[in-house]
Amino acid sequence: MIMSVGSVVGRQVQAARSSSSQVWYDDIPGSICGPEDGPWPRTFTRLSTSEARTRLAQASDPQSMSYAGHLGDATVEHAAYHMPIIVREFLEEITRKHRGRAVPPPLIADMFSSAIRAFDDAIANDVLELFPGGLQSVRNMPDDEIYTTLNDHATGGQNFKKARLCMYGTTALVALVDPDHENLWLANLGDCQGVMISETDHRTWNFEILTTSHNGTNEHEVQRVKSEHPGESECVDDDRVLGAIAPFRCIGDTPFKQPPEFTRRILYNLFPGQDTSPWEEFLVRNLTPPYISAMAEVTHYPLGASQKRLRKYLVLASDGFTDICGEAQRSVIEWWLQCVESGSACCETDNRALQLLWQGLGGDAVHVSKVLTVDLDVPWLDDVSIIVQSL
């Protein structure tokens, strides 16, 4: 059973040093605000425990995979719907080729990665196929002809929807478990996190982080990008790809994967008249694309058929969850486990992901009230996605 809390708590809920109903920017867990967003302190509404639980549940959007989109939600929604279909098709194909024989785990991992890469390739290719001759023909095509091709709202808007996907991106963390529950594969793109929580024979719990972050804090990722673009000193700047974007691997974000002409000739004509200066800041550095990779890092984790009697929980979470937990992430999970083991109705719900979110936000009505009701005109939390899978 999958129970999840989707990317909501920093988006839909736009979210005290004392017992008063005031909060400082550093009192909000995972806050992306600073002193410049003042004046501080800000007021918040104290909710009762029941009200806080209800509001948090209402703000949550059930999903079945962990994605964390940037710039917009179009690519997230596209990936959430279509990626399982693509992975299933690739899995069925490799199963047919083995004619009933067990497929070795390394081949499943390769299949998983290939499926995700094919899914990502199709985002740009679907748009290029709208123009006979591809990008080469677009270079010399009049703007009004490109605009007319893309903005086909009068006939259903399918071309527009295809092109819009190229403007946005999403990290992804996708899990695959075999029918016998003996093997787990995790495909990771970006800075989401997979954590395996396993019961031992001694009634204690092991915590294993199964993923690595694909961003500027990972020196291996930084060196990978630099080695792929020798002589380009600005391919990574300020821990960001081309100085603009934090994830080094993701779905979409086509301007970082295609030559600059793709953005200037196609995407600029999708919304003519827009301010293109933020795009130009990194497009002038785009010399030898792609800079962002769609090659998922796939981890194989044997679940152990002999240990099926012992409980296992797989937690898939976006970086928004790790941000709100900070260095206390293990403590947050331990408190959540106590709730699960005791059978208490944490947060008055049997949704374990929502229980975990409650603990991550502070575990009581006051802390949750700060996040849900603080009086601010700017976003103060990153999106938070959590999935809890019982294995």
Least confident of 66-80, 108-122, 288-302: 66-80
Of 191, 188, 270, 257, give the one whose Cα is nearest residue 225: 257
Instruction: State which amino acid sits at residue 212.
Output: T
Angle at alpha carbon of residue 41, lines to 35 and 43, rounded to 5°: 130
Q: Does the structure show a pLDDT above 90 at 60?
A: no
pLDDT at 113: 97
**pLDDT (average), residues 204-215:** 95
Q: Which pLDDT score, from 0 to 100, does residue 382 have?
A: 86
Residues with Cβ < 8 Å from 299, sequence gap 6 or more? 185, 186, 188, 194, 210, 211
Handedness of CA 89, 94, 95, 99 (dihedral sign): positive
Look at residue 11 in the predicted model and tell me its pLDDT.
35
- Mean pLDDT computed over 99-114: 95
What one-character-per-residue DSSP string does 179-227 give? TTS-EEEEEEESS-EEEEEEE-TTS-EEEEE-----STT-HHHHHHHHH
pLDDT value of position 68 = 56
Q: pLDDT grade, residue 18 (50/70/90)?
A: very low
Average pLDDT over residues 198-209: 88
Does 378 score more than 50 pLDDT? yes
Does residue 168 carry a pLDDT above 90?
yes
**Global pTM value:** 0.88
pLDDT, mean over the chain: 89
Give the DSSP letter string of 328-368: GHHHHHHHHHHHHHHT--GGG-S-HHHHHHHHHTTSSHHHH
Q: Which residue has the higher pLDDT, 341 or 41?
A: 41
8-to-57, 198, 209 alpha-carbon distances in Å: 10, 28, 24
User: What DSSP state is assigned to residue 151?
Assistant: -
**Does residue 346 carry a pLDDT above 90?**
no
How far is 269 from 215, CA to CA, in rounded Å? 30
pLDDT at 13 over 50: no
pLDDT reading at 107 higher than 70: yes
Q: Which helix (H) or strand (E) holds 300?
A: strand 297-302
The torsion angles phi and psi of 149, rounded to 5 degrees, stand at -65, -40
pLDDT at 95 over 50: yes
Rounded CA separation 222/241 (Å): 9
For residue 308, give the DSSP letter.
T
- Going by pLDDT thresholds of 50, 70 and 90, the confidence category of residue 326 is very high
Instruction: Lowest mean pLDDT of 115-119, 318-322, 337-341, name the range.
Output: 337-341
Structure confidence at residue 63 (pLDDT): 57
3-state secondary structure of 301: strand
- Which spans in 71-133 are helix H? 74-97, 105-128
Contact 167, 159 (CB under 8 A): no
* Residue 231: per-residue pLDDT: 97
What pLDDT does residue 62 have?
A: 63
In the prediction, which pLDDT does 318 show?
93
Percent of the chain with pLDDT over 90: 76
**Would you state the pLDDT for residue 271?**
87
